[in-house]
Structure 1
């Protein structure tokens, strides 16, 4: 009997406040459950207005924003009439930083309105859309839709650097391996002396294995971000004393190794800007006709020197007048046998002009990195040969067609 009495008294002592607290917690829990998306957005750092912008979207889209990194300056898109593809605007703008916001919105909204539903039916995943947007125009997407090319037939080509979307049907019909199809159909001039009918801007100029020649141009505005002075002897009339950091440091190591053999390398020319190359070309153009000038000096934008990875070498013995040409010196013979140990290749070898399109330049060496230099040296290849085996290292944008 006392046991039951104590239990009864214990129950009687429970305060009504307890039940109020429980009720409040239940209400708060319910609010938290229904507002969990807003809470997640708060945690990500979105302000109230940005939260409302996202929460007005479809549930599937909201979940995408919750999984993705925070979009910076999300509210800026509200100043432009648009269809609320905020994440896609942000991704596309990062891919194309020079494109203004209005053009970004127009591109993305037109894509979703005109092409995305049809591409969905053709089996193209959204990740593939985003990858293609790095260099695909709306006309490229229109081509896929008009030709009704399913993803199952195009996916092996889409992963290849330099794919030209409007050539996809030609690739498929060729029945060649995807890499061979892309290179032979879209870039037959990789191997000179094929006629250059198109000119492409390369979109990833930082690549160490970038192919730059007639038909492949660097953007006029491209300046390598890591240029540095090269710490080796410099020819008296050399005004271009810089290379990209890795190339400069490797050249310094190569020069130090040559010194141990009592061989004295010197820098004759390194990085040249687009404007400097244009000045050189214009000078040749005034002295000769256009065809001759183009044969003697690279067109502006098509010079490897703008990469900051190419160097014209000479030697102290040439500077002192003991030898007339670098290609005749002991230094040249040593560099030919050892350059690949430092990531360099002879860019325009003798008897390879049918491939490179440039006559022998025994002074011109190109930094491609240790691994690639070893492959090229051991196979007696040019950079063109390497590209034909391994593919381009950059996507491209067509800027001129002579068809």
Structure 2
């Protein structure tokens, strides 16, 4: 009878010991999780053990940023090159400038932090503002701002203006003009073609419908709109350039359909042209005419609205059939001039303001800008240049020379 009793007590003591082990295990796990919780969180985000080790070497604020933001892909690859561990900044800048190599990205970011970051913070530029500026700022721009001691309070009213040139900031401030007027008059005086072209700009985002392109403003030679389509419309027999951007194409189709209801039949003579096609035309004109005349008749390569896929040269069935010699004399032309804005188009080079546009009258050349902008231009009897001078540039720019 005693043996079972001892067995019972032994079992009870054994069970009690097991019970005591549970809180000890819980405490151990809690301590482990306390010290490894960050690593666990990083693992849940998908970071490898090597990447976790890279991140955990950073300061607390940077680690917190990794935890609060989306996972950076291929984090390990940054360590293939010597760097200063600004991993999130590398990823951000590479996303903005995908054409750059990792080596160039690291060089930009590391130099920025070595030379300019602390001084810019002293000048009250926040991290968010600096990130926005990095979309187009060169290191030389940050050098200029720090050397000129331009604090954020002085520059903030200019920084959000499309087309701001950072190395012109002091000139803007000194001019005491309203911010938009300062940016346009100082950095882009040749929007008005009566002013001399003193710089050439590369247009950063030529997909914008409000992009102004002319002498002094260029797009890359390899730029091709990614939404080119062929409009369902009449083409002249010699038309080899039949595509437009999708939105412009659909608007032109609708305009042609409405014109046909009045027995007026529009046709395309030329639409999208590549850089090389524009160069061929440019070279041909320069063989026939002197440079001043040729430049007034044809856009230089890289500065043609046709390359944007938004410019179109119109004609009519009546011209094709020989009823009229010039499109500018036809009833179709008169109808288009009166109604184009309803479809988002403007007569790009009107006869009344060739000094502003820098191009002689082209009654055949129409430009798609969208209904809102087209209505403003039509109602004010403006050119696109005058619209830009009132409302600002549609695309950001970088100085090329």
What does residue 189 of structure 1 align with?
A: 190
What does residue 218 of structure 2 align with?
A: 217
C-alpha offsets along residues 293-330 of structure 1, whole Å, 9 cap, x if unaligned?
22221000000100001111100000001001111111
| 1:13 CA displacement | 10
Aligned-partner Cα distance in 2 for 1:164–1:106: 22
What does residue 8 of structure 2 align with?
A: none
Aligned-partner Cα distance in 2 for 1:41–1:394: 39
Please state whether the residue corresponding to 2:328 is helix, strand or coil.
helix
Worse-matched range after superposition: 266-275 or 34-43: 34-43
Q: Is the counterpart of residue 357 in structure 1 residue 358 in structure 2? A: yes
1:372-383 matches, within 5 Å, as 372-383=373-384
Aligned-partner Cα distance in 2 for 1:382–1:191: 10
What does residue 26 of structure 1 align with?
A: 27
Please state whether the residue corresponding to 2:244 is helix, strand or coil.
strand
Aligned-partner Cα distance in 1 for 2:85–2:394: 34
What does residue 125 of structure 1 align with?
A: 126
| 1:98 CA displacement | 1.5
Q: Tell me, which stretches of 5 or more residues in structure 1 are unaligned?
A: 1-10
Aligned-partner Cα distance in 2 for 1:77–1:194: 47
TM-score w.r.t. length of structure 2: 0.94
Residue 162 of structure 2 contacts residue 395 of structure 2 at CA under 8 Å; is this kept in 1?
yes
C-alpha offsets along residues 248-279 of structure 1, whole Å, 9 cap, x if unaligned?
11111111111111110001111111111111
What does residue 8 of structure 1 align with?
A: none
Q: Is the counterpart of residue 347 in structure 1 residue 337 in structure 2? A: no
Aligned-partner Cα distance in 2 for 1:40–1:372: 50
Please state whether the residue corresponding to 1:366 is helix, strand or coil.
strand
Please state whether the residue corresponding to 1:311 is helix, strand or coil.
strand
Worse-matched range after superposition: 325-334 or 287-296: 287-296
Worse-matched range after superposition: 381-390 or 67-76: 67-76
TM-score w.r.t. length of structure 1: 0.94
Residue 201 of structure 2 contacts residue 400 of structure 2 at CA under 8 Å; is this kept in 1?
yes
C-alpha offsets along residues 171-206 of structure 1, whole Å, 9 cap, x if unaligned?
111111111100001101111111001000010111
Aligned-partner Cα distance in 2 for 1:213–1:180: 20
C-alpha offsets along residues 223-247 of structure 1, whole Å, 9 cap, x if unaligned?
1011111110111000110001111
What does residue 3 of structure 1 align with?
A: none
Please state whether the residue corresponding to 1:335 is helix, strand or coil.
helix
Aligned-partner Cα distance in 1 for 2:149–2:330: 61
What does residue 62 of structure 2 align with?
A: 61
What does residue 384 of structure 1 align with?
A: 385
What does residue 396 of structure 1 align with?
A: 397
Aligned-partner Cα distance in 2 for 1:203–1:389: 21
Worse-matched range after superposition: 130-139 or 232-241: 130-139
Stretches of 4+ moved more than 4 A in 1? 11-14
What does residue 199 of structure 1 align with?
A: 200
Worse-matched range after superposition: 33-42 or 110-119: 33-42
Q: Tell me, which stretches of 5 or more residues in structure 2 are unaligned?
A: 1-11
1:138-153 matches, within 5 Å, as 138-153=139-154
Aligned-partner Cα distance in 2 for 1:154–1:173: 11
1:69-148 matches, within 5 Å, as 69-148=70-149
Aligned-partner Cα distance in 1 for 2:15–2:387: 83
What is the count of residue pairs matched by the alignment? 390
| 1:14 CA displacement | 6.6
Aligned-partner Cα distance in 1 for 2:291–2:94: 39
Aligned-partner Cα distance in 1 for 2:99–2:13: 74
